[in-house]
Amino acid sequence: MADTLAETTHWGNLKTEVAGYVGIDTLQEQIRKKVLKRGFEFNIMVVGRSGLGKSTLINTLFKANVSLRSCSKSEEKVEIPKTTHVKSVSHVIEEKGVRLRLTVTDTPGFGDQINNDNCWLPVLDYINEQYENYLSEEQSVTRKKHIPDTRIHCCLYFISPTGHSLSPLDIEFMRRLDRCVNIVPVIAKADTLTIEERVGFKQRIKQDLANNGIRTYPMKELEEDPEETVTNNKIRELLPFAVVGSNQQYPNNGRTVYGRKTQWGLVEVENRSHCEFSDLRDMLIRTHMQDLVEVTRSVHYENFRQDRLASRRGRTQFNGQVIDMDSMNESSL
Amino acid sequence: MEDYIGFANLPNQVYRKAVKRGFDFTILVVGESGLGKSTLINSLFFTDIYSNEYPGPSQRIKKTVQVETSKVILRENGVNLTLTIVDTPGFGDAVDNSVCWQPVLNYVESKYEDYLHAESRVHRTTIVDTRVHCCLYFISPGHGLKPLDLEFMKKLHDKVNLIPLVAKADTMTPEECNQFKKTVLNEITQSKIRIYEFPDCDDEEENKHQKRIKERIPFAVVGSNVIVEANGKRVRGRKYPWGVVEVENMEHCDFVALRNIMIRTHLQDLKDVTNNIHYENYRCLKLGAVGKSGTTANKNPLAHMEEERKDHENKMKRMEREMEQVFDMKVKEKLNKLRESESELNRRSEQMRKTLDQQKRELYQKWKEFEKERTTFEVTNQDMDDTHRRLTLTLDMSPKEYFDGKDKKKEKKKGLF
């Protein structure tokens, strides 16, 4: 036993024999308990022009009225604001003892003006602001035991279902923000497109994304083992998800399903042959939620932190250019 | 004797003439890309105006707003319709869309301009009507009108017949659709936008029927030129995994309503309103503008003609004056010349007279001398005569020789001259 101390690769490639029951496997349980007590935090941002069903989708995803629109006090129609606003609303939802603090950030006014130049700037500023807050908390002398995490873990970008390709605004936004936040593009109101149209549309979108060098989540570089790669490849195949949202239920074949009832049929939200909502939900909540948080923490936030600290240390050189405080609001790379 | 005069046949005559001449109609389609404009146009006229060989503008990439026209001649039951579709690819697609309506506006006004010129020409037997008769504006479904929609409609509602349509109506459930239509109509009336109002028919029956159709404004349309199977029938529609949207089913969308009211009943009215209201407005504005400013904007044909005439007159006058000047000059020259030559002649004649006089005097002198000499000669001659007589009596001299001698002397004297 003593001479089996050789190299181990990342995790458990070399198995050391244990004589009896040690009890390491209870670690799982310990972690679980702790985490359960603490609860999880997840911050999601929805970006897209008005009328694309963002609020409905969020409500459908979490099966609760969590969107901004549902929470706004006024009953009459919300006017389109003149500039992009960024508003958040937080909820705590619980399922099987697991508490999730969900923050939904909405961007009313994005892309709705006649002149949409720089409509992404408020969004970018907000994201960087959250990083900034976290950084200052981290660096303070007396740190809190658990710093509240308001950083955006996932940004759902809603693409209008024109059926042609990405609009210039879409490309601009994604180009500027894919370095600061995890972008998950979705095709909104997918019940507008027939299956063939949808396939063609996705192909063209993928091509546009590749042509512009836009990295969407999940990112290839961050994969650590082949299993992950396989799942992520499947997801990347499906990207962008063609989703339909609805929080109204209708009876169908004895079950009640969420869907949209039209004169010519019932669009089932959770039916995989109708739309890809289930795939989105699975990825976002059931399989990759923790990963999203991880990537935000270890990649995006770290990038931001590096830039920040490098510039703070007396305006020294960073990548050959002097970056001053004011220009930090531009994209961090 | 019949009371039938026969002018009840007039409508038939008009009809036949119109049919022979054929109709023309111009539709302008405006809307963001991907809203199904090309598909709807194809569906409306049951024909592939945009097809694989000639793809619609959405399939082609463009950087700025273009205005493109396509012409198709359709024929049904012997009636010819020349249909011009004006499309606006690139509208509302850019990040900054501040003036994306400007090319459209310019196009509409330029067509009015052309017609105005054609109307004011001297020879106007063939006026081709290329004015835009109807503008189909596609609204993207959502919560309400976007700022771009409002801006565009405000700019064009008094220049052209505006018919707003809700595009891709299969996105919405019936409740959502009604809600959206109400919102849109509200916003339109609030912004004081005047959309085209389909006027009532004379026929009561028709009227009721049309009233029901008009309640559906703005029409929520779905377009398709593909034939799919639905419930055993073959219909034009869109096939989804959850069902088939039938384009021609009144319960699914308002496509049929749009087609009927636009083509079957109000095609001519659209043209009339364009001609009588929108075109006249434009004309008033244009001509009024010239009258106010007074400068030669060259838009008013009457003033233009007046001006032309005046110009012409002025030119004529100027030419006249010039010619007169030239003429005067020439006359003067000629006079001068003549005078000169006259004086010249005078001088010469003077001279000649002088010389003549002189000669005369000389001659006179000479004559006088000659006379003197003659008299002296004669005197001497008398003596000689006498002597000669004496001598001849003695001699037998011919008088001839004697006279020759005298002649010789005379001749000699003559030689002096």
Q: What is the pLDDT of residues B7-61, one digit of tens each?
A: 778 888 887 877 777 788 898 988 888 888 888 888 877 766 665 545 555 555 5
Beginning with the edge strand found earlier in the chain, give each strand of the sheet holding B23-30 in spatial order: B68-76, B79-87, B23-30, B134-139, B162-166, B219-220
How confident is the model at residue B294, as a pLDDT? 47
- Of A161, A47, A174, which is closest to residue A110 (Cα–Cα)? A47
- Of B215, B97, B105, B77, which is closest to residue B146 (Cα–Cα)? B97
A171 phi/psi in degrees, rounded to 5: -65, -45
Both tokens of B294, joined, read 């007074």
Both tokens of B159, joined, read 């220049």
Option in A116, A189, A265 nearest B171 (CB): A189
Helical residues (DSSP H) of B57-173, grouped into ranges: 102-120, 147-156
A160 in contact with B, Cβ within 8 Å: yes
Chain A residues within an 8 Å CB radius of B227:
none
Q: In which region does residue B247 sit, left (phi positive, over 0), alpha (psi from -120 to 50) or beta (all else)?
A: alpha
Chain A residues within an 8 Å CB radius of B243:
262, 264-266
Question: Over 60: is that where the pLDDT of A271 sits?
Answer: yes
| Residue A323: band (very low, low, confident or very high) from pLDDT cuts 50, 70, 90 | very low
Chain A residues within an 8 Å CB radius of B183:
77
B162 touches B201 (CB < 8 A): no
Percent of chain A with pLDDT over 90: 6
| Residue A327: band (very low, low, confident or very high) from pLDDT cuts 50, 70, 90 | very low
- Are the beta carbons of A191 and B238 separated by less than 8 Å? no
The total number of residues written for chain B in this structure: 417
Do strands A40-47 and A98-106 pair parallel, antiparallel, or not at all (unpaired)?
parallel
Percent of chain A with pLDDT over 70: 85
A30 touches A141 (CB < 8 A): no
Better-predicted residue by pLDDT, B406 or A191 = A191
pLDDT digit string, tens, across residues A192-227: 888 888 899 999 999 888 898 888 887 777 777 788
Both tokens of B243, joined, read 């069902």
Mutate to test the interface with B, among A54, A77, A106, A114 (most CBs of B within 10 A): A114
A196 in contact with B, Cβ within 8 Å: no
Place of tokens 């010349």: B337
Chain A residue at shortest CA distance from B177: A262
A273 in contact with B, Cβ within 8 Å: yes
Do strands B162-166 and B134-139 pair parallel, antiparallel, or not at all (unpaired)?
parallel
Better-predicted residue by pLDDT, B315 or B63 = B315
Both tokens of B164, joined, read 């707003």
CB contacts < 8 A (A, B): 102
Measured in angstroms, the CA of A88 and the nearest CA of chain B are apart by: 21
Percent of chain B with pLDDT over 70: 87
B372 Cβ neighbours under 8 A, 6+ residues apart: none
Strands (E), chain A: 40-47, 87-95, 98-106, 154-159, 183-187, 241-242, 249-252, 255-262, 265-268, 317-318, 321-322
Both tokens of B70, joined, read 């396509």
Average pLDDT, chain B: 81
**Type of residue found at A317:** Q
How confident is the model at residue B337, as a pLDDT? 94
pLDDT digit string, tens, across residues B372-383: 888 888 888 788
Mutate to test the interface with B, among A119, A159, A162, A272 (most CBs of B within 10 A): A162
How confident is the model at residue A322, as a pLDDT? 46
- Are the beta carbons of B242 and A168 separated by less than 8 Å? no
Q: How far is it, in rounded angstroms, from Cα B280 to Cα B270? A: 14
Chain B contacts to A (CB-CB under 8 A): 32-35, 58-59, 93-98, 140-144, 146-148, 151, 168, 170-174, 183, 238-246, 249, 251-252
Q: Which of A301-305, B341-345, B399-403 has the highest mean predicted lDDT (pLDDT)?
A: B341-345
- Are the beta carbons of B241 and A274 separated by less than 8 Å? yes
Q: A121-139 and A168-177 helices cross at what angle (nearest 10)?
A: 10
B255 touches B223 (CB < 8 A): yes
Both tokens of B114, joined, read 């052309």
How confident is the model at residue B1, as a pLDDT? 54
| Residue B396: band (very low, low, confident or very high) from pLDDT cuts 50, 70, 90 | low
Question: Over 80: is that where the pLDDT of B297 sits?
Answer: no
Both tokens of B295, joined, read 């400068």
Chain B residues within an 8 Å CB radius of A164:
33-34, 58-59
- Are the beta carbons of A192 and B148 separated by less than 8 Å? no
Chain A residues within an 8 Å CB radius of B224:
none
- Percent of residues in chain B assigned helix, strand, coil, to nearest 5: 55, 15, 30
How confident is the model at residue A325, as a pLDDT? 47
A207 in contact with B, Cβ within 8 Å: no
Strands (E), B271-313: none
Q: What's the whole-number mean pLDDT along residues A300-321?
A: 71
B25 Cβ neighbours under 8 A, 6+ residues apart: B81, B82, B83, B84, B133, B134, B267, B270, B271
How confident is the model at residue B318, as a pLDDT? 93
Option in A115, A164, A195 nearest B33 (CB): A164
Percent of chain B with pLDDT over 90: 11
Both tokens of A126, joined, read 């907000």
| Residue A187: band (very low, low, confident or very high) from pLDDT cuts 50, 70, 90 | very high
Q: How far is it, in rounded angstroms, from Cα A44 to Cα A62? A: 12
| Residue A1: band (very low, low, confident or very high) from pLDDT cuts 50, 70, 90 | very low
Place of tokens 């989540």: A217
- Of A299, A296, A290, A302, which is closest to residue A135 (Cα–Cα)? A302
B258 Cβ neighbours under 8 A, 6+ residues apart: B44, B163, B165, B219, B221
Place of tokens 């000699």: B412
Option in B35, B94, B151 nearest A168 (CB): B94
| Angstrom distances, CA of residue A79 to CA of A37, A103, B98 | 41, 23, 20
How confident is the model at residue B49, as a pLDDT? 64
Both tokens of A43, joined, read 């911050």
- Are the beta carbons of A194 and B93 separated by less than 8 Å? no
- Of B256, B247, B249, which is closest to residue B39 (Cα–Cα)? B247
B253 touches B221 (CB < 8 A): yes
Q: What's the whole-number mean pLDDT along residues A100-127?
A: 87
Q: How far is it, in rounded angstroms, from Cα A216 to Cα A237? A: 12
Question: Over 50: is that where the pLDDT of A312 sits?
Answer: yes
How confident is the model at residue A66, as a pLDDT? 74
Q: How far is it, in rounded angstroms, from Cα A54 to Cα A107? A: 10
Q: How far is it, in rounded angstroms, from Cα A316 to Cα A323? A: 8
Place of tokens 């995803």: A61
**Angle CA A134–A138–A139, to nearest 5:** 120
To the question of pTM greater than 0.80 for the whole model, the response is no
Option in B146, B240, B252 nearest A194 (CB): B240
ipTM of the prediction? 0.74
A264 in contact with B, Cβ within 8 Å: yes
Chain B residues within an 8 Å CB radius of A263:
174, 249, 251-252
Chain B residues within an 8 Å CB radius of A172:
95
Mutate to test the interface with B, among A194, A253, A272 (most CBs of B within 10 A): A194
How confident is the model at residue B344, as a pLDDT? 93
The secondary structure element, H or E, covering residue B351 is helix B301-394
A133 touches A304 (CB < 8 A): no
Maximal CA-CA distance, chain A: 75
Measured in angstroms, the CA of B83 and the nearest CA of chain A are apart by: 26
Place of tokens 């024999």: A17
- Are the beta carbons of B94 and A162 separated by less than 8 Å? no
- Are the beta carbons of B173 and A265 separated by less than 8 Å? no
The total number of residues written for chain A in this structure: 333
Measured in angstroms, the CA of B109 and the nearest CA of chain A are apart by: 23
Q: What's the whole-number mean pLDDT along residues B184-207?
A: 83
pLDDT digit string, tens, across residues B122-143: 777 777 788 889 999 999 888 8
The strand pairing partners of B81, in sequence order, are B23, B74
The number of beta carbons lying within 10 Å of the beta carbon of residue A251 is 11
Q: How far is it, in rounded angstroms, from Cα A287 to Cα B147? A: 40
| Angstrom distances, CA of residue A63 to CA of A95, A158, B87 | 11, 19, 43
| Residue B68: band (very low, low, confident or very high) from pLDDT cuts 50, 70, 90 | confident
- Are the beta carbons of B144 and A77 separated by less than 8 Å? yes
Mutate to test the interface with B, among A264, A268, A271 (most CBs of B within 10 A): A264
| Residue A247: band (very low, low, confident or very high) from pLDDT cuts 50, 70, 90 | confident
Q: Which of A173-177, B7-11, B169-173 has the highest mean predicted lDDT (pLDDT)?
A: A173-177
Both tokens of A158, joined, read 């809603």
- Of B277, B180, B264, which is closest to residue B219 (Cα–Cα)? B180
